[in-house]
């Protein structure tokens, strides 16, 4: 199977290569793709060096699968070109997520909706992925009316430039490029640009993508997305208003038996999920599960996941695995 990774030299692209290798995905020929300035450079995969090629070369090679992490404009231009030669595209940008005829997929939640006719498939926003992993089983059992979420997102969500800037500021370089303000020893309540309604694009992504993935436009989502000086893994404080009442122990058992979700919730032992523990792992971790006593049928929880893995690369490879298991690639 020929597999192209578009954006192979970037942070997420590199993680895609790592996940493909870790999961022993049946790659017979790897095609790393990047911009012209990176053509001719090399990436490592399973101990072998592969030369980076441009998109035109990759398309001519007619891969069966292309994993994209190269930005929205690139995806809009190139994904249809790859699809036109029979290549399945799993795109990590926001370019295709809200297109009516493009599936937005978290395999554990709605992987069953994929069909043989899906040539371009969208990978959701990293913050949305980890949240719906916990919301989906709750919605199925209790029904969800409203979600209020505040995120604590690591600098790697902005790519290598975000990590580099945090480290540079810690070393004394006060230059600000990747974020709106200094990120070291600070918290910035802005991710992406502001829209006309006062919310950022990141906040609106969480609201719109959640409804699409869950297949229910009645779910109301209000998000505040925040950048914090952490290198890896996003955290979320989530308040969930349910349609039906619940017992906290039942919620913990339900989430604890959900594939891909691990519950860490023991206040007596100071046990709860933290970014430092989620880094490098593919699961979504949930803790601080407790009733909201300010109104009926409402609970609070804390959700943490590695944004480069389950929030991006792992989810994309899992989508590819569904395609492969069905014999479509």
Percent of the chain with pLDDT over 90: 99
If asked whether residues 162 and 206 sit together in one domain, one would say: yes
CATH number of the domain where residue 166 is located: 3.30.360.10
Closest CA to 109 of 277, 279, 260: 260
Work out the end-to-end distance of the chain between its first and last CA atoms, rounded to an integer number of angstroms: 8
If asked whether residues 283 and 178 sit together in one domain, one would say: yes
- pLDDT digit string (tens) for 133-190? 999 999 999 999 999 999 999 999 999 999 999 999 999 999 999 999 999 999 999 9
Give the model's pLDDT for residue 161. Answer: 95
Closest CA to 21 of 324, 317, 322, 277: 317
Task: Report the number of distinct structural domains present in the chain.
Answer: 2
- pLDDT digit string (tens) for 19-57? 999 999 999 999 999 999 999 999 999 999 999 999 999
Longest C-alpha distance within the chain, in Å? 60
The catalytically annotated residue of 112, 139, 181, 234 is: 234
CA-CA distance, 34 to 49, in Å (whole number)? 15
If asked whether residues 51 and 152 sit together in one domain, one would say: no
If asked whether residues 107 and 135 sit together in one domain, one would say: no
Decide: 259 and 138 in contact? Cβ < 8 Å. no
Region 92-119: mean pLDDT is: 97
Report the chain's mean pLDDT, rounded to a whole number.
97
Closest CA to 29 of 50, 8, 43, 53: 50
CA-CA distance, 9 to 318, in Å (whole number)? 21
If asked whether residues 117 and 135 sit together in one domain, one would say: no
If asked whether residues 119 and 159 sit together in one domain, one would say: no
If asked whether residues 56 and 94 sit together in one domain, one would say: yes
If asked whether residues 209 and 198 sit together in one domain, one would say: yes
CA-CA distance, 329 to 323, in Å (whole number)? 6
Give the model's pLDDT for residue 275. Answer: 98
Decide: 95 and 62 in contact? Cβ < 8 Å. no
Phi, psi of 4 (to 5 degrees): -100, 140
Is 126 a catalytic site residue? yes
pTM: 0.96
Give the model's pLDDT for residue 328. Answer: 97
The catalytically annotated residue of 126, 244, 301, 324 is: 126
Give me the domain span that covers residue 108. 2-124+312-325
Give the model's pLDDT for residue 28. Answer: 96
Decide: 233 and 305 in contact? Cβ < 8 Å. yes
If asked whether residues 13 and 70 sit together in one domain, one would say: yes
Give the model's pLDDT for residue 123. Answer: 98
Give the model's pLDDT for residue 274. Answer: 98
Reported confidence tier of residue 268, pLDDT bands at 50, 70, 90:
very high
If asked whether residues 108 and 131 sit together in one domain, one would say: no
CATH number of the domain where residue 41 is located: 3.40.50.720
For 126-147, b/e burial (b = at least 16 CB within 10 A) is bbbbbbbbbbbbbbeebebbeb
If asked whether residues 175 and 65 sit together in one domain, one would say: no
Reported confidence tier of residue 230, pLDDT bands at 50, 70, 90:
very high
Reported confidence tier of residue 60, pLDDT bands at 50, 70, 90:
very high
If asked whether residues 114 and 210 sit together in one domain, one would say: no
């Amino acid at each position: 199977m020929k597999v192209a990774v578009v954006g192979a030299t970037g942070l997420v692209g590199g993680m895609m290569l790592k996940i493909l290798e870790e999961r022993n995905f049946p790659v017979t020929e790897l095609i790393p793709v990047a911009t012209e300035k990176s053509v001719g450079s090399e990436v490592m995969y399973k101990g072998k060096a592969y030369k980076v090629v441009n998109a035109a070369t990759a398309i001519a090679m007619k891969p069966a699968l292309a994993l994209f992490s190269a930005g929205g404009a690139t995806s809009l231009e190139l994904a249809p070109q790859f699809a036109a030669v029979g290549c399945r595209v799993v795109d990590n940008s926001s370019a295709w997520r809200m297109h009516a005829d493009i599936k937005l997929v978290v395999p554990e939640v709605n992987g069953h909706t994929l069909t043989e006719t899906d040539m371009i498939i969208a990978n959701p926003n990293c913050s949305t992925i980890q949240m719906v992993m916990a919301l989906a089983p709750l919605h199925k059992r209790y029904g969800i009316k409203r979600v209020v979420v505040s995120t604590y997102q690591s600098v790697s969500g902005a790519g290598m430039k975000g990590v580099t800037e945090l480290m540079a500021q810690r070393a004394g370089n006060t230059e600000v490029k990747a974020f709106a303000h200094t990120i070291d020893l600070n918290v910035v309540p802005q991710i992406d640009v502001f829209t006309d309604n006062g919310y950022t694009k990141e906040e609106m992504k969480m609201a719109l993508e959640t409804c699409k993935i869950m297949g229910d436009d009645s779910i109301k989502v209000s998000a505040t997305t925040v950048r914090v000086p952490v290198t890896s893994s996003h955290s979320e404080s989530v308040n969930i208003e349910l349609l039906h009442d619940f017992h906290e122990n039942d919620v913990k058992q339900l989430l604890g038996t959900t594939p891909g979700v691990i519950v860490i919730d023991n206040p007596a032992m100071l046990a709860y999920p933290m970014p430092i523990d989620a880094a490098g792992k593919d699961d979504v971790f949930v803790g601080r599960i407790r009733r909201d006593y300010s109104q009926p049928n409402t609970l609070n929880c804390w959700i943490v996941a590695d944004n480069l893995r389950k929030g991006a690369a792992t989810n994309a490879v899992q989508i590819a695995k569904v395609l492969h298991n069905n014999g479509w690639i």
